[in-house]
Amino acid sequence: MSRKTLIPIGPYHPLQEEPELFKLYCDGEIVKDIQWVTGYNHRSIEKLSESKTYEQVFFLVERICGICSTSHPFAFANAVEEIVGIEPTDRAKYIRSIIGELERIHSHLLWVGLAGHFLGYNTVFMWAWKYREPVLDLFEMITGNRNSYAMFRVGGVRRDIESDKIAAVRKILADVKSKTDLLTGAVMDDPVIHARLKGVGILTKQDVIDYGAVGPTARASGVAIDVRKDDPYAAYPLVNWKVITAQAGDVFAKAEVRLLEMYESISIIEQCLKGLEKEKEGDIMVKVNEIPEGIGHGRAEAPRGEVFHFVVSDGSNSPARHKIRAPSYVNIATFKKSCVGQTIADATITLAGVDPCYCCTERMAVVYDVRSGEKIMNARELIDRSISRSHDLMEELKKSK
């Protein structure tokens, strides 16, 4: 008779930065069901927004999530500018897109690092985070901070990227490109990574549509949605780039999409820098005196998918209602489909595959025995289980040579 086991992951674990409790119900080695207990991260941000002025809300929303720090102000700016009926200057659009794409690069590098750790490739973790540092240095040079950039305002951006900075951006970008080549090669060519990620955590196209999943999670299953192409904003319609998709829907496809997207981001930034050189320096703001009554829908393509902000204005200084939906809100729910049927060893990488941002969602995993309700392992043990699976595969590979 098979025993069903309960394995706790979280709520607080050193490498799972945010607290969210996932309950994985297992039968022997197979995950049968997944439930979650959230509430650890709830900060009532939508309510707080109603007591802040529009300018203050930018500082609030960029702290919804440290990694998608630009995407929330981006979507909020789009929403408010829709209410007012204006668009920022071209120079501001280029700057917004540059910041947005730099964020995508650093976020995907962060993900590659975490995924590497979950698989037992600690070198990948260290490299990816080391190569992230120059991107953070760029942010510090342009905006003054490594995270939480305070770059957005209604009608434009707060700081310019002057011509003397452009050369530095180009230099670091070239370096990032060569490091991306290194990481892509390391991930895509490694047989153990193929064995660990291919066929694991599959999300079908139909599931993506049913759950309304977005971002690389959707694109890896062949659903070609990307806000930058579908509902263009900022400088995206002014430059050439393509939407990256894959068909398999497994974690490998998700990794592939993220890695290839980094190249598109680099290309977009290079084109935006050329665009900046043609625009007048300092022309970064369209003056807005007041926000009239009205409704605005703003969206932006964050590294994890579509960020959606819905703003209702009553003509006063603060939003009357500000609804925020981060991409992880819809993506995390897909675990019901992608995690069930996986082995415990594959559960961690499946969970990580969606690149969940719990602070965007509000929102760690525990495994329970389906029958007895007993806890068997903790978060550390679950990750160790995944790491030892990789080691077993490496051994098998050596023996077969």
The answer to the question of residue 33 lying near other proteins (CB under 8 A) is no
Contact 330, 355 (CB under 8 A): no
Between 94 and 125, CB nearer to other proteins: 125
Residues 6+ apart with CB under 8 A from 129: 109, 110, 113
Between 320 and 394, CB nearer to other proteins: 320
Task: Give the 3-state secondary structure of residue 141.
Answer: helix
Residue 399: burial class (beta carbons within 10 Å; 0-12, 13-18, 19+): exposed
The answer to the question of residue 46 lying near other proteins (CB under 8 A) is yes
Stretch of 24-32, 59-67, 184-192, 248-256 contacting other proteins, by CB under 8 A: 59-67
The answer to the question of residue 40 lying near other proteins (CB under 8 A) is yes
Site residues for other proteins, 299-338, by CB under 8 A, read 306, 308, 310, 312, 320-321, 323, 325, 329-330, 333, 336
- Residue 211 tokens read as 């759950």
The answer to the question of residue 147 lying near other proteins (CB under 8 A) is yes
Angstrom distance (rounded) from CA 39 to CA 352: 20
The answer to the question of residue 343 lying near other proteins (CB under 8 A) is no
For the CA atoms of the chain, what is the radius of gyration?
A: 22
Site residues for other proteins, 257-286, by CB under 8 A, read none
Between 32 and 229, CB nearer to other proteins: 229
- Residue 268 tokens read as 């977009």
Q: Which of 2, 12, 53, 395 is the binder for other proteins (CB under 8 A)?
A: 12
Site residues for other proteins, 192-221, by CB under 8 A, read 209-212
Cβ-count burial 234-255 (b if 16+ within 10 Å, e if not): bbbeebebeebbbebbbbbbbb
The answer to the question of residue 82 lying near other proteins (CB under 8 A) is yes
Read off the amino acid at residue 91. R
Angstrom distance (rounded) from CA 49 to CA 200: 40
Residue 323: burial class (beta carbons within 10 Å; 0-12, 13-18, 19+): middle
Between 121 and 127, CB nearer to other proteins: 127
Can you give the binding site for other proteins, defined by CB under 8 A? Answer: 11-15, 17-19, 37-48, 51, 59-60, 63-67, 69, 82, 110, 126-127, 129-130, 133, 145-148, 209-212, 225, 230-232, 295, 297, 306, 308, 310, 312, 320-321, 323, 325, 329-330, 333, 336, 357, 359, 362, 378-380
